[in-house]
Structure 1
């Protein structure tokens, strides 16, 4: 796979990951998927990276999986294995990334492309963006974590409506449902994503990682488990330099300077 099909730059402690196959609305190949997983894992481990922005070039964020060249008849178990090691692994890489991940959705986000956006911590959408649970149109079951993500974001009835009908959901409606944090003009998308990412990159990185972990696990936990996890996370966080800086800056009545450590 040409590296140019996913461009990667680090600027100001922000890792920018851009799908770059605009001629097919950034339909995702296995090679692109695996590279995204690698780059997200690398962002987690790199102390010089403190936020991630995921976007696409051209008119589409990601039109889903590129099915051209997909095998016809398959042996029992092959499909499940492919999904576990492919689409599900990609969504898990976003959810498990230890840095905040912002999706800047610049156009169509369909199928796994929609789920890739929904897995991100924050979602910015251009006015031209639209989200499509395209699976039913192809006679397929939603994969890539869709049946896990959507009910947690908008409830089971809304999730079923989107998945049963496969209708395109515009940016404004996605914001109304809570799938999108903010809708901006197309020409403002990159600027807004950069501003949000740079703000996150100056924050207490370890505290943000622990907060992300707590929120992502909360809907699968009972109250006792969630409260215990919260207390443990605060215990861990209080050993960080940023936590000490935050407390000191409050006492000294100054703005904190977080280093991500």
Structure 2
């Protein structure tokens, strides 16, 4: 039998550990707050397909190294994609792979939200099945603050979790939400003191691993069938709009403002 770990040996920015039938995945760029770009983006586009095919696990725990879950898109990567349309097109293809990988993985995924989850980081967290956050963490999708449409999954998953009114409130402003509030409105499952984070995550992962795992996986697949239908009608449109917005002056201004550490001056299209 092929070593089940071998499919993960090529990953450079995602650490993989095993504890019995529980697979722990760690976004591993702590020096960049686990910002996603380049190699990590490519790895994420195939990660959950590899997880689904992994014969050595029934349950997944997903977390981030260091003090953040993920700061979202890496600034250097955003700038490189803007300068190279072919690279940006590839990034959209990879983003599609990330969302469908999460939807098609029938193993339950417990998100250990150890710190802030922003942009694509928030999308990945929210497509998990149980989200347990440290109470100091924040979550949000500020695509609009960098002049981009929230096309890589945020516009799909947020309305399903908290309804259209609240989803529009947060997606149209890019505001971040403190974990306790996110739990109170149903965006995530639990917000707990940092000292209780590991115990709570372990409790849920162990409970799922002890259950009737085949029935659990089939139930998740059934639930996700509806989300997959929505993805088929929404995701490609959203990615297309994100591609259009990436070519705007507002997006260029947002990148320049971040580089220069000043407020962005939008309004130029």
TM-score interval, smaller chain: 0.7 to 0.9
Could you list the per-position Cα deviations for residues 81-115 of structure 1 after superposition, in whole angstroms to 9, with x for gaps in the alignment? 531x2222112211211210111111110000000
Match in the other structure for 2:91: 82
Q: RMSD over aligned Cα, in angstroms? A: 2.0
Match in the other structure for 2:176: 168
Which of 10, 16, 19 lines up with 2:24 in the alignment?
Answer: 16
Q: Distance in 2 between matches of 1:64 and 1:168?
A: 12
Match in the other structure for 1:225: none
TM norm structure 2? 0.75
Q: Distance in 2 between matches of 1:22 and 1:81?
A: 25
What SS class does the counterpart of residue 71 from structure 1 fall into? helix
TM norm structure 1? 0.77
Instruction: State the 1:37 CA deviation.
Output: 4.2
Match in the other structure for 1:92: 100
Q: Distance in 2 between matches of 1:219 and 1:143?
A: 15
Ranges in structure 2 where 5+ consecutive residues have no aligned partner: 1-9, 230-269
Instruction: State the 1:66 CA deviation.
Output: 1.1
Q: Distance in 2 between matches of 1:123 and 1:22?
A: 20
Instruction: State the 1:3 CA deviation.
Output: 4.6
**Pair member with larger Rg:** 1
Q: Distance in 1 between matches of 2:33 and 2:228?
A: 34
Contact 2:58-2:213 within 8 A present in 1 as well? yes
- The aligned runs of 1:170-249 (5 Å cut-off) are 170-218=178-226
Q: Distance in 2 between matches of 1:94 and 1:170?
A: 24
Q: Does 1:71 align with 2:81?
A: yes
What SS class does the counterpart of residue 163 from structure 1 fall into? helix
Instruction: State the 1:194 CA deviation.
Output: 1.8
Contact 2:25-2:61 within 8 A present in 1 as well? yes
Greater mean deviation of Cα atoms: 157-166 or 33-42: 33-42
Contact 2:47-2:101 within 8 A present in 1 as well? no
- The aligned runs of 1:42-121 (5 Å cut-off) are 42-69=50-77, 70-75=80-85, 79-83=88-92, 85-121=93-129
Q: Distance in 2 between matches of 1:220 and 1:29?
A: 25
Q: Distance in 2 between matches of 1:220 and 1:108?
A: 26
Match in the other structure for 2:130: 122
Q: Distance in 2 between matches of 1:201 and 1:216?
A: 19
Q: Distance in 1 between matches of 2:32 and 2:228?
A: 37
Distance 1:33 1:78, change over 3 A: closer
